[in-house]
Structure 1
């Protein structure tokens, strides 16, 4: 079964990825703290969703990251 992550998980992962990019641009303590917070939020949400749907956590995480980083092209 293909896992279709909800928009909330996708948005949390996007926020985590953006915070990571901010660290890459300026590795200040504040940037690191923001990334840790965003990543923690995303990870907690993935874990909770995996429990809700009864799928392995790592598969849900992979589906979320794929949806964020390699989105399917829009249907014509």
Structure 2
């Protein structure tokens, strides 16, 4: 688990999964309809993997945040520490 000022107490695994989902989302920009749909599937799969991992992690006895709070904390840590890759 990483404990840095921008993401105190958030697990590296969740950070990596959210970064992966965001990277797949960023690839949607400027694609033609056929390629867009294929990339959208990749993004949704990466996003689903992130959400499943958040759900499992939030079930742990030592986690004090709700599932929602955990998800939002990870998203804030990923999205606010660097520029949006889609821009």
**Please, which of 42, 67, 70 is the counterpart of residue 34 of structure 1?**
42
- Greater share of helix: 1
What is the CA-CA distance between 1:54 and the residue it aligns to? 4.8
User: What secondary structure does 1:25 align onto?
Assistant: coil
Runs of 5+ consecutive residues of structure 1 not aligned to the other structure? 72-76
- Give the structure-2-normalised TM-score: 0.71
Q: Which runs of 5+ in 2 are unaligned?
A: 1-7, 82-87
Show the 5 A alignment for 1:18-33: 18-26=23-31, 28-33=36-41
**Alignment RMSD (CA, Å):** 1.8
TM-score normalised per structure 1: 0.80
Q: Measure the CA separation in 1 of the matches of 2:73 and 2:47.
A: 16
